[in-house]
Amino acid sequence: MGNALRFFYGSCQRQTAADEPQELGSHGVVTETAGFSALAQDLRLFHTNSRVPPGLSRYVNSSEKAQINWYSKLLKAWNEARTPPKQAEAAARLVIQTLQNIGKANLEGFLAFYGLPVPQTTEEDTDVTPPWAEGVQFELLTLPIDEWAIGDGDGFTAYVSTGEQMESNLIPQEVKNAVIRRHNARAAKDFKQAKLIKKEVIAAGYRFITLPNQKEILAHKYRIRLRGVDAPECKMPYGEEAKQALAKMIKGKCLQIHVYGVDKYGRTVGDVYCNGIFIQELLLRRGCAWHYKAFDARPEFAESEKKARADRRGLWALPNPEEPWVWKKKNPNPRETLQKNPSVYRM
Protein backbone atom coordinates (compact mmCIF):
# COMPACT_ATOMS: atom_id res chain seq x y z
CA MET A 1 0.00 0.00 0.00
CA GLY A 2 2.86 2.36 0.73
CA ASN A 3 4.27 1.80 -2.76
CA ALA A 4 0.92 2.66 -4.33
CA LEU A 5 0.80 5.95 -2.45
CA ARG A 6 4.33 6.87 -3.51
CA PHE A 7 3.31 6.07 -7.10
CA PHE A 8 0.92 9.03 -7.05
CA TYR A 9 2.27 11.39 -4.41
CA GLY A 10 5.75 12.33 -5.48
CA SER A 11 8.30 9.62 -4.75
CA CYS A 12 9.57 7.30 -7.47
CA GLN A 13 9.04 3.61 -8.03
CA ARG A 14 8.96 1.21 -10.96
CA GLN A 15 5.56 0.00 -12.12
CA THR A 16 4.50 -3.60 -12.07
CA ALA A 17 4.58 -5.35 -15.44
CA ALA A 18 0.77 -5.44 -15.48
CA ASP A 19 0.61 -1.67 -15.08
CA GLU A 20 3.48 -0.70 -17.41
CA PRO A 21 2.60 1.90 -20.06
CA GLN A 22 4.07 1.62 -23.52
CA GLU A 23 6.64 4.35 -23.00
CA LEU A 24 8.19 5.95 -19.94
CA GLY A 25 10.57 8.81 -19.30
CA SER A 26 13.28 8.81 -16.64
CA HIS A 27 14.42 5.20 -17.20
CA GLY A 28 11.00 3.65 -16.65
CA VAL A 29 10.38 5.53 -13.42
CA VAL A 30 6.99 7.19 -12.94
CA THR A 31 6.88 10.34 -10.85
CA GLU A 32 3.83 12.27 -9.66
CA THR A 33 4.82 15.40 -11.51
CA ALA A 34 3.75 17.65 -14.32
CA GLY A 35 6.02 18.40 -17.25
CA PHE A 36 8.41 20.92 -15.71
CA SER A 37 9.03 18.85 -12.58
CA ALA A 38 9.52 15.72 -14.72
CA LEU A 39 12.29 17.61 -16.54
CA ALA A 40 13.82 18.63 -13.21
CA GLN A 41 13.76 14.97 -12.13
CA ASP A 42 15.56 13.87 -15.29
CA LEU A 43 18.16 16.61 -14.91
CA ARG A 44 18.87 15.44 -11.35
CA LEU A 45 19.30 11.90 -12.64
CA PHE A 46 21.55 13.12 -15.44
CA HIS A 47 23.72 14.93 -12.91
CA THR A 48 24.15 11.60 -11.12
CA ASN A 49 24.68 9.17 -13.98
CA SER A 50 25.03 11.23 -17.22
CA ARG A 51 22.26 9.19 -18.84
CA VAL A 52 19.29 10.50 -20.84
CA PRO A 53 15.72 9.14 -20.74
CA PRO A 54 15.46 6.18 -23.16
CA GLY A 55 11.98 7.17 -24.40
CA LEU A 56 13.21 10.52 -25.71
CA SER A 57 14.49 8.95 -28.95
CA ARG A 58 10.90 8.35 -30.06
CA TYR A 59 10.30 12.10 -30.04
CA VAL A 60 13.53 13.44 -31.57
CA ASN A 61 15.84 12.57 -34.46
CA SER A 62 19.28 12.77 -32.92
CA SER A 63 22.03 10.56 -31.55
CA GLU A 64 22.36 9.71 -27.88
CA LYS A 65 25.62 11.68 -27.88
CA ALA A 66 23.74 14.78 -29.04
CA GLN A 67 21.05 14.25 -26.40
CA ILE A 68 23.71 14.01 -23.68
CA ASN A 69 25.02 17.38 -24.88
CA TRP A 70 21.49 18.84 -24.62
CA TYR A 71 21.07 17.71 -21.02
CA SER A 72 24.53 19.02 -20.11
CA LYS A 73 23.56 22.46 -21.42
CA LEU A 74 20.15 22.36 -19.74
CA LEU A 75 21.59 21.28 -16.39
CA LYS A 76 24.06 24.17 -16.50
CA ALA A 77 21.37 26.68 -17.52
CA TRP A 78 18.96 25.41 -14.85
CA ASN A 79 21.58 25.69 -12.11
CA GLU A 80 22.73 29.13 -13.24
CA ALA A 81 19.24 30.59 -13.63
CA ARG A 82 18.63 33.50 -11.28
CA THR A 83 15.14 32.08 -10.67
CA PRO A 84 14.88 28.36 -11.52
CA PRO A 85 11.64 27.40 -13.35
CA LYS A 86 8.64 26.85 -11.10
CA GLN A 87 6.02 26.13 -13.75
CA ALA A 88 5.75 24.68 -17.24
CA GLU A 89 5.87 27.97 -19.16
CA ALA A 90 9.13 28.99 -17.49
CA ALA A 91 10.68 25.55 -18.06
CA ALA A 92 9.65 25.66 -21.74
CA ARG A 93 11.27 29.07 -22.14
CA LEU A 94 14.52 27.84 -20.59
CA VAL A 95 14.53 24.81 -22.92
CA ILE A 96 13.92 26.99 -26.01
CA GLN A 97 16.59 29.52 -25.04
CA THR A 98 19.16 26.81 -24.23
CA LEU A 99 18.47 24.43 -27.13
CA GLN A 100 17.57 26.95 -29.84
CA ASN A 101 20.17 25.50 -32.25
CA ILE A 102 19.01 21.86 -32.27
CA GLY A 103 16.38 22.37 -34.99
CA LYS A 104 12.64 23.00 -34.86
CA ALA A 105 11.58 19.32 -35.08
CA ASN A 106 13.92 18.25 -32.27
CA LEU A 107 12.95 21.20 -30.09
CA GLU A 108 9.22 20.53 -30.52
CA GLY A 109 9.80 16.83 -29.90
CA PHE A 110 11.70 17.56 -26.69
CA LEU A 111 8.90 19.80 -25.41
CA ALA A 112 6.28 17.19 -26.36
CA PHE A 113 8.18 14.47 -24.48
CA TYR A 114 7.72 16.45 -21.26
CA GLY A 115 4.27 17.78 -22.08
CA LEU A 116 5.64 21.33 -22.02
CA PRO A 117 3.78 24.08 -23.90
CA VAL A 118 5.30 26.18 -26.64
CA PRO A 119 5.18 29.72 -25.18
CA GLN A 120 3.29 32.18 -27.35
CA THR A 121 4.42 35.78 -27.65
CA THR A 122 2.03 38.68 -28.22
CA GLU A 123 2.14 42.43 -28.21
CA GLU A 124 1.19 42.30 -24.50
CA ASP A 125 4.31 40.32 -23.50
CA THR A 126 5.75 43.42 -21.86
CA ASP A 127 3.47 42.74 -18.88
CA VAL A 128 5.04 40.96 -15.93
CA THR A 129 3.46 38.95 -13.14
CA PRO A 130 3.31 41.24 -10.08
CA PRO A 131 3.92 40.17 -6.49
CA TRP A 132 0.91 38.97 -4.55
CA ALA A 133 -1.59 41.74 -4.02
CA GLU A 134 -3.33 42.36 -0.72
CA GLY A 135 -5.99 39.73 -0.17
CA VAL A 136 -4.33 36.93 -2.16
CA GLN A 137 -4.51 33.74 -0.11
CA PHE A 138 -2.46 31.32 -2.20
CA GLU A 139 -1.24 30.56 -5.72
CA LEU A 140 -2.24 27.81 -8.16
CA LEU A 141 0.01 26.57 -10.97
CA THR A 142 -2.24 24.72 -13.38
CA LEU A 143 -1.75 22.01 -15.94
CA PRO A 144 -2.52 23.00 -19.58
CA ILE A 145 -6.12 24.16 -19.96
CA ASP A 146 -8.43 22.09 -22.18
CA GLU A 147 -10.54 24.08 -24.64
CA TRP A 148 -13.69 22.19 -23.58
CA ALA A 149 -13.08 23.37 -19.98
CA ILE A 150 -13.72 27.04 -20.88
CA GLY A 151 -17.35 27.71 -20.03
CA ASP A 152 -17.68 31.38 -20.95
CA GLY A 153 -15.68 34.58 -21.16
CA ASP A 154 -14.89 34.81 -17.44
CA GLY A 155 -14.76 31.25 -16.14
CA PHE A 156 -13.13 27.90 -16.80
CA THR A 157 -12.12 24.61 -15.19
CA ALA A 158 -8.46 24.01 -14.32
CA TYR A 159 -6.51 21.08 -12.93
CA VAL A 160 -3.51 21.28 -10.60
CA SER A 161 -1.08 18.40 -10.16
CA THR A 162 -1.09 16.84 -6.70
CA GLY A 163 2.69 16.81 -7.03
CA GLU A 164 2.50 20.42 -5.86
CA GLN A 165 3.24 20.45 -2.13
CA MET A 166 0.07 22.31 -1.15
CA GLU A 167 -2.10 19.97 -3.20
CA SER A 168 -0.39 16.88 -1.82
CA ASN A 169 -1.31 18.00 1.71
CA LEU A 170 -4.96 18.58 0.73
CA ILE A 171 -5.77 15.16 -0.74
CA PRO A 172 -8.70 13.65 1.20
CA GLN A 173 -8.09 10.28 2.80
CA GLU A 174 -10.89 8.69 0.75
CA VAL A 175 -9.15 9.77 -2.45
CA LYS A 176 -5.84 8.34 -1.23
CA ASN A 177 -7.60 5.08 -0.45
CA ALA A 178 -9.24 5.05 -3.88
CA VAL A 179 -5.86 5.59 -5.56
CA ILE A 180 -4.48 2.57 -3.71
CA ARG A 181 -7.48 0.40 -4.62
CA ARG A 182 -7.30 1.43 -8.28
CA HIS A 183 -3.57 0.70 -8.42
CA ASN A 184 -4.15 -2.75 -6.92
CA ALA A 185 -7.06 -3.43 -9.26
CA ARG A 186 -4.99 -2.55 -12.33
CA ALA A 187 -2.10 -4.67 -11.08
CA ALA A 188 -4.56 -7.59 -10.79
CA LYS A 189 -5.88 -6.79 -14.31
CA ASP A 190 -9.34 -6.11 -12.88
CA PHE A 191 -9.90 -3.19 -15.23
CA LYS A 192 -13.67 -3.10 -14.66
CA GLN A 193 -13.13 -2.44 -10.95
CA ALA A 194 -10.37 0.07 -11.74
CA LYS A 195 -12.79 1.97 -13.98
CA LEU A 196 -15.41 2.13 -11.22
CA ILE A 197 -12.83 3.41 -8.74
CA LYS A 198 -11.72 6.02 -11.27
CA LYS A 199 -15.30 7.35 -11.28
CA GLU A 200 -15.12 7.68 -7.48
CA VAL A 201 -11.98 9.79 -7.80
CA ILE A 202 -13.59 12.02 -10.44
CA ALA A 203 -16.69 12.48 -8.28
CA ALA A 204 -14.41 13.65 -5.45
CA GLY A 205 -13.00 16.44 -7.63
CA TYR A 206 -9.86 14.73 -8.91
CA ARG A 207 -8.75 13.32 -12.24
CA PHE A 208 -6.07 11.02 -13.61
CA ILE A 209 -4.22 12.78 -16.44
CA THR A 210 -1.81 11.10 -18.85
CA LEU A 211 0.95 13.36 -20.13
CA PRO A 212 2.29 13.07 -23.69
CA ASN A 213 5.25 10.99 -22.44
CA GLN A 214 2.75 8.50 -20.92
CA LYS A 215 3.36 9.53 -17.31
CA GLU A 216 0.08 9.47 -15.39
CA ILE A 217 -0.56 12.04 -12.69
CA LEU A 218 -3.36 12.75 -10.24
CA ALA A 219 -4.77 16.29 -10.48
CA HIS A 220 -7.21 18.37 -8.43
CA LYS A 221 -10.12 20.11 -10.17
CA TYR A 222 -10.81 23.82 -9.67
CA ARG A 223 -13.65 25.89 -11.13
CA ILE A 224 -12.10 29.30 -11.76
CA ARG A 225 -13.87 32.68 -11.83
CA LEU A 226 -11.82 35.63 -13.09
CA ARG A 227 -11.84 38.35 -10.43
CA GLY A 228 -13.03 41.84 -11.25
CA VAL A 229 -14.50 41.27 -14.72
CA ASP A 230 -17.86 40.09 -16.04
CA ALA A 231 -18.10 38.85 -19.61
CA PRO A 232 -21.37 38.57 -21.56
CA GLU A 233 -23.19 35.28 -21.02
CA CYS A 234 -22.93 32.88 -23.96
CA LYS A 235 -26.59 33.55 -24.88
CA MET A 236 -26.04 37.31 -24.86
CA PRO A 237 -24.82 39.37 -27.81
CA TYR A 238 -21.03 38.99 -28.01
CA GLY A 239 -21.16 36.15 -25.48
CA GLU A 240 -19.71 33.50 -27.78
CA GLU A 241 -17.06 35.92 -29.04
CA ALA A 242 -15.99 36.65 -25.45
CA LYS A 243 -15.70 32.93 -24.72
CA GLN A 244 -13.59 32.35 -27.83
CA ALA A 245 -11.37 35.29 -26.93
CA LEU A 246 -10.62 33.76 -23.53
CA ALA A 247 -10.08 30.34 -25.13
CA LYS A 248 -7.53 31.79 -27.54
CA MET A 249 -5.62 33.30 -24.62
CA ILE A 250 -5.46 30.27 -22.32
CA LYS A 251 -6.24 26.98 -24.11
CA GLY A 252 -3.33 24.56 -23.96
CA LYS A 253 -1.46 26.88 -21.59
CA CYS A 254 -0.30 26.48 -18.00
CA LEU A 255 -1.64 29.30 -15.85
CA GLN A 256 -0.61 31.09 -12.68
CA ILE A 257 -3.62 32.00 -10.54
CA HIS A 258 -3.53 34.28 -7.49
CA VAL A 259 -6.49 33.13 -5.42
CA TYR A 260 -8.56 35.49 -3.25
CA GLY A 261 -11.19 33.01 -2.09
CA VAL A 262 -14.28 31.04 -3.10
CA ASP A 263 -17.57 32.58 -4.23
CA LYS A 264 -21.13 31.54 -3.32
CA TYR A 265 -21.19 29.10 -6.25
CA GLY A 266 -18.07 27.25 -5.09
CA ARG A 267 -15.83 28.79 -7.74
CA THR A 268 -12.25 29.77 -6.96
CA VAL A 269 -11.91 33.52 -7.56
CA GLY A 270 -8.55 34.83 -8.67
CA ASP A 271 -6.28 36.87 -10.89
CA VAL A 272 -5.13 34.80 -13.86
CA TYR A 273 -1.76 35.12 -15.57
CA CYS A 274 -0.59 33.32 -18.71
CA ASN A 275 3.02 33.57 -19.77
CA GLY A 276 3.35 36.78 -17.73
CA ILE A 277 0.20 38.34 -19.20
CA PHE A 278 -2.61 39.49 -16.89
CA ILE A 279 -5.67 37.91 -18.52
CA GLN A 280 -8.35 40.16 -16.95
CA GLU A 281 -6.48 43.26 -18.08
CA LEU A 282 -6.19 41.89 -21.61
CA LEU A 283 -9.90 41.01 -21.77
CA LEU A 284 -10.82 44.54 -20.73
CA ARG A 285 -8.43 46.11 -23.22
CA ARG A 286 -9.95 44.10 -26.04
CA GLY A 287 -13.52 44.89 -25.05
CA CYS A 288 -14.36 41.29 -24.16
CA ALA A 289 -15.68 42.00 -20.65
CA TRP A 290 -17.07 44.64 -18.32
CA HIS A 291 -15.23 45.90 -15.27
CA TYR A 292 -17.19 44.35 -12.37
CA LYS A 293 -16.98 47.42 -10.15
CA ALA A 294 -19.28 46.01 -7.46
CA PHE A 295 -16.63 43.44 -6.55
CA ASP A 296 -13.36 45.05 -7.66
CA ALA A 297 -12.52 48.76 -7.64
CA ARG A 298 -9.06 48.59 -9.23
CA PRO A 299 -8.56 51.86 -11.14
CA GLU A 300 -6.49 50.19 -13.86
CA PHE A 301 -9.50 48.01 -14.71
CA ALA A 302 -11.72 51.08 -15.01
CA GLU A 303 -9.15 52.76 -17.24
CA SER A 304 -8.82 49.72 -19.53
CA GLU A 305 -12.60 49.52 -19.95
CA LYS A 306 -12.81 53.26 -20.60
CA LYS A 307 -10.24 53.05 -23.39
CA ALA A 308 -11.93 50.01 -24.99
CA ARG A 309 -15.27 51.88 -24.92
CA ALA A 310 -13.70 54.92 -26.57
CA ASP A 311 -12.14 52.76 -29.29
CA ARG A 312 -15.38 50.77 -29.72
CA ARG A 313 -13.50 47.50 -29.36
CA GLY A 314 -15.22 44.15 -28.90
CA LEU A 315 -18.63 44.36 -27.24
CA TRP A 316 -18.43 48.17 -27.24
CA ALA A 317 -19.06 48.11 -31.00
CA LEU A 318 -22.60 46.91 -30.25
CA PRO A 319 -25.33 49.58 -30.46
CA ASN A 320 -26.52 49.15 -26.87
CA PRO A 321 -24.50 46.58 -24.86
CA GLU A 322 -26.27 45.32 -21.74
CA GLU A 323 -24.48 44.65 -18.47
CA PRO A 324 -24.27 40.89 -17.80
CA TRP A 325 -25.45 41.28 -14.20
CA VAL A 326 -28.56 43.11 -15.41
CA TRP A 327 -29.23 40.47 -18.08
CA LYS A 328 -28.86 37.66 -15.52
CA LYS A 329 -31.49 39.22 -13.25
CA LYS A 330 -33.90 39.15 -16.17
CA ASN A 331 -32.87 35.62 -17.18
CA PRO A 332 -32.09 33.68 -13.96
CA ASN A 333 -30.20 30.40 -14.29
CA PRO A 334 -32.10 27.68 -12.34
CA ARG A 335 -28.84 25.90 -11.50
CA GLU A 336 -27.28 29.03 -10.01
CA THR A 337 -30.48 29.78 -8.09
CA LEU A 338 -30.36 26.28 -6.61
CA GLN A 339 -26.69 26.63 -5.67
CA LYS A 340 -27.35 29.97 -3.98
CA ASN A 341 -30.50 28.82 -2.16
CA PRO A 342 -30.95 25.02 -2.19
CA SER A 343 -34.28 25.25 -0.29
CA VAL A 344 -35.93 26.87 -3.32
CA TYR A 345 -36.19 23.56 -5.16
CA ARG A 346 -36.75 21.20 -2.26
CA MET A 347 -39.97 19.18 -2.47
Catalytic residues: 225, 233, 267
Task: Return the amino acid letter for 206.
Answer: Y
Residues 6 or more apart in contact with residue 224 via CB below 8 angstroms: 155, 156, 157, 158, 257, 267, 268, 269, 270, 272
What are the backbone angles phi and psi of residue 160, rounded to the nearest 5°? -120, 130
Which phi-psi region, left, alpha or beta, contains residue 167 (left: φ > 0; alpha: ψ -120 to 50)? alpha
User: Cα(228)–Cα(143) distance, rounded to whole angstroms?
Assistant: 23
The answer to whether 158 and 143 have CB atoms below 8 angstroms apart is: yes
The answer to whether 53 and 27 have CB atoms below 8 angstroms apart is: yes
- Of 17, 24, 30, whose CA–CA distance to 187 is shortest? 17
CA distances to 9, 133, 193, 230 from 305, in Å: 44, 21, 53, 11
